[in-house]
Amino acid sequence: MLQFAADTGSASPGDPALNMAIFGAFVAITMVIVFRASRNNKTAADYYAAGRSFTGGQNGFAIAGDYLSAASFLGIVGAIAINGYDGFLYSIGFLVAWVVALLLVAELLRNTGKFTMADVLAFRLKQRPVRIAAAISTLVVCFFYLLAQMAGAGGLVALLLGIEERVGQSVVIAVVGALMILYVLVGGMKGTTWVQIIKAVMLVVGAGVMTVWVLALNGFNLSTLLDSAVETAGTAAILAPGMQYGMSDLSRLDFLSLGLALVLGTAALPHVLMRFYTVPTAKEARKSVVWAIWLIGIFYVFTLVLGYGAAALIGAERIQAAPGGANSAAPLLAFELGGSVLLGVISAIAFATILAVVAGLTITAAASFSHDIYASVIKKGNPPAGAEVKVARRTVIVIGIVAIIGGIGANGQNVAFLVALAFAVAASANLPTIIYSLFWRRFTTQGALWSMYGGLGSALVLISFSPVVSGAATSMIQGVDFSFFPLSNPGIVSIPLAFFLGWLGTVLDKNTESVDKLAEMEVRSLTGVGAEKSVDH
Amino acid sequence: MGNDALTEEHSSGHSAEVFRETQGSEEFLALRRKHRSFVLPVTAVCLLWYLSYVLLAGYAPEFMAQPVFGRVNVGILLGLSQVVTTFAVTMTYVSYANRHLDPSATAIRERLENKEGVR
């Protein structure tokens, strides 16, 4: 799915100036809110965790804002419009994944940790090695996710602003990156969270209006809508699985592998985990996941209607011929329904989506570097006053610049590959250690390190030698073929391997971990004793 | 709070003995049992239910394509039922946690916080 093709045909439908104006209004409004929200950004708890002052409902919207990226919105609508049912399979995986986050991770993490994923993983294990490993995998996951969003921005620009030459697109990517740096630098977690909340409301309302519109055109009858989609497509195959994946045994296995990565990756995405620290208690963390599940679930049902709506009203051929390819399905549908005004609104929402997700990723990566590497490892837990936040802000600038350069370089690359890689890496490198350290008393440092490095390394190696990188018509590198791993997603191998390595490393470990820390972690995680309190200003 | 970065041996203001003692207490063991006996099997069932859906989509597309009413087929209904079960599990867990987990977690926490003063 989600291929933001750089090659373009005709110019953008609608009015680029209007699109820009609506997006500009969004930036102006959110900027004011970010500045107001940033007044109390004094301590690390303020900067990384928004003083732990958000309510469960607010955080739920912010989680949905973080999670419903451009790939979810534009990518899934486009995938359903073109490949039919197979696009729907993605959204189901993205949603069911939240059960793992809700039941196994959110509350225990909130009770145990402070700012980052590493706080929990290193709680009862050896601090330095585990923190370094957790920080590395956090940075890798954030980097691929960032790259995907920034690369997506280029494709969007082509479609929405009618900018087709690469230089112009690069300028827009740089502007998006610079805006994001400003948000995160000024607003910290509080500002970033407000941007997410506003964007989530806009996205869900915008998609909801379009959904009701499409259903109204079809007499509020799903069957009628599907009927017209089949009529436009000329085949009933778009209603059943198999158009994109079900061709061969290999592609079936590939889909299973992707499904595994999607369903196990979410609860291990560092930027999602970090959101649980922005609420005052574990109970609020639970409420935020519940809100997020409702919002995300309803949104994915919307995308089903929108996808088939686009298939019915516009048709796969016209969508693929439009600049931006599959990703143009949602904007084209907006234009078809509500003309250039609705297109402008939907375009602004799509831009806001990229901006907000990139901001969330950046603050996560910066927190991980300054809290886990700088403060905990380099300064051995005793950084000078104020230094940690200062380092975090500098890291934001560095990450922002890396994201801009990476985004310009990755412009036109397959966004699905980068997002799926981020999920696969998160599921392989982080999830086994999160689960083991929360639920398995014997788990040791050696097990954690084997699992994290083994999962991270195997995921990256398998991807490098997969058809995604070389040896296929759609590969990143053309003209050479060094692929030996036949699947485009490594999850089916790397996730079980990481679980196995975590077990093996533990049973072969002659050292045992502190029983006192284990007792403290168990009691804290379940009861919330000594959990970080919210900051009063 | 500021920049106090990591380990914080006594972050919660309680000594190791208190945690060891609590960990071994009947009340805590019961809480842990109630937590695990819900979350672990329910997660496993949800993941199996999802995996069987993915496998059906991959290996039995004809089954998924069977119409149920009008154009709405088995696949679309199964997909939507995944959404419904996710919502149902969410609400069930919330009510379970409110009734069975929160009261004893709160009781243990309050007892500990009173025991060794505030942090």
Percent of chain A with pLDDT over 90: 44
Q: Which residue has the higher pLDDT, B48 or A249?
A: B48
The alpha-carbon gap from B43 to the nearest alpha carbon of chain A, in Å, equals 6
Read off the pLDDT band of A454 (50, 70, 90).
very high
Rg of chain A in Å (alpha carbons) = 22
B117 at the A interface (CB within 8 A)? Answer: no
Cβ(A459)–Cβ(A440) below 8 Å: no
CB spacing of B54 vs A89 below 8 angstroms? yes
DSSP letter string over A97-151? HHHHIIIIIHHHHHHH-SSSHHHHHTSSS-HHHHHHHHHHHHHHHHHHHHHHHHH
B68 at the A interface (CB within 8 A)? Answer: no
Mean pLDDT comparison of A217-221, A411-415, A481-485, highest-scoring range: A217-221
- DSSP label of A278: G
B114 at the A interface (CB within 8 A)? Answer: no
The alpha-carbon gap from A385 to the nearest alpha carbon of chain B, in Å, equals 6
What residue of B is the nearest CA neighbor of A118?
B6
Vertex A426, ends A115 and A354: CA angle to 5°? 75
Instruction: Quote the pLDDT of residue A3.
Output: 39
- Residues from chain A contacting residue B7 (CB–CB below 8 Å): 127, 381
pLDDT in tens, A392-413: 999 999 999 998 898 888 776 6
Q: What is the mean pLDDT of chain B?
A: 86
How far apart are alpha carbons A161 and A172 in whole angstroms? Answer: 10
Residue A244: which of A80, A390, A124, A8 has the closest Cα?
A: A80
User: How many beta-carbon pairs under 8 angstroms link A with B?
Assistant: 215
Q: Which residue from B7, B19, B83 is facing A297, i.e. has the nearest CB?
A: B83
How far apart are alpha carbons A446 and A512 in whole angstroms? Answer: 10
Can you name the residues that pair with B73 across neighbouring β-strands? B67
- In chain A the first and final C-alpha atoms are separated, in Å, by 46
Instruction: Quote the pLDDT of residue A352.
Output: 83
CB spacing of B72 vs A388 below 8 angstroms? no
Residue A303: which of A97, A160, A91, A155 has the closest Cα?
A: A91
Of 3.30.365.10, 1.10.10.10, 1.20.1250.20, 1.20.1730.10, the CATH number of A16-415 is: 1.20.1730.10
Read off the pLDDT band of A4 (50, 70, 90).
very low
B45 at the A interface (CB within 8 A)? Answer: no
Q: What is the mean pLDDT of chain A?
A: 87
Q: How many other C-beta atoms can be found within 10 angstroms of the C-beta atom of residue A511?
A: 8
In whole angstroms, how far apart are CA A68 and each of A223, A310, A532? 27, 19, 28
Q: How many CA atoms lie within 13 A of A216 on its CB side?
A: 7
CB spacing of A256 vs B58 below 8 angstroms? yes
CB spacing of A375 vs B6 below 8 angstroms? yes
B77 at the A interface (CB within 8 A)? Answer: no
Instruction: Quote the pLDDT of residue A231.
Output: 87
Cβ(A308)–Cβ(A81) below 8 Å: yes
Instruction: Quote the pLDDT of residue A53.
Output: 87
A38-47, A194-203, A299-308: lowest mean pLDDT where?
Answer: A38-47
How far apart are alpha carbons B20 and B23 in whole angstroms? Answer: 5
CB spacing of B71 vs A227 below 8 angstroms? yes
Residue with tokens 């399979």: A89
Instruction: Quote the pLDDT of residue B3.
Output: 38
pLDDT in tens, B23-80: 999 999 999 999 999 999 999 999 999 999 999 988 888 899 899 988 899 999 999 9
pLDDT of A5 above 50: no
- Residues from chain B contacting residue A96 (CB–CB below 8 Å): 46-47, 50, 82, 86
* 3-state class (DSSP) for residue B69: strand
Residue with tokens 């089949």: A230
- All structural domains of chain A with their residue ranges: 16-415
The alpha-carbon gap from B49 to the nearest alpha carbon of chain A, in Å, equals 10
Q: What integer is the mean pLDDT of A42-51?
A: 84
Q: Which residue from B59, B75, B93 is facing A102, i.e. has the nearest CB?
A: B93
CB spacing of A240 vs B61 below 8 angstroms? yes
Residue A274: which of A106, A116, A111, A69 has the closest Cα?
A: A116
How far apart are alpha carbons A278 and A48 in whole angstroms? Answer: 8
B41 at the A interface (CB within 8 A)? Answer: no
pLDDT of B96 above 90: yes
CB spacing of B105 vs A98 below 8 angstroms? no
In whole angstroms, how far apart are CA A473 and each of A154, A468, A476, A478? 22, 9, 9, 8
Can you name the residues that pair with B72 across neighbouring β-strands? B69
Instruction: Quote the pLDDT of residue B7.
Output: 41
pTM: 0.90
CB spacing of A96 vs B108 below 8 angstroms? no
Q: What integer is the mean pLDDT of A469-488?
A: 81
- Residues from chain A contacting residue B59 (CB–CB below 8 Å): 252
- Residues from chain B contacting residue A224 (CB–CB below 8 Å): 70-71
Residue A97 exposed, middle or buried by CB count within 10 Å (0-12, 13-18, 19+): buried
CB spacing of B82 vs A99 below 8 angstroms? no
Cβ neighbours for B48, distance < 8 A, ≥ 6 positions apart: none
Helix (H) or strand (E) holding B88: helix B74-96
Read off the pLDDT band of A179 (50, 70, 90).
confident
Q: What integer is the mean pLDDT of A454-467?
A: 92
What residue of B is the nearest CA neighbor of A107?
B97
How far apart are alpha carbons A184 and A445 in whole angstroms? Answer: 34
CB spacing of A255 vs B58 below 8 angstroms? yes
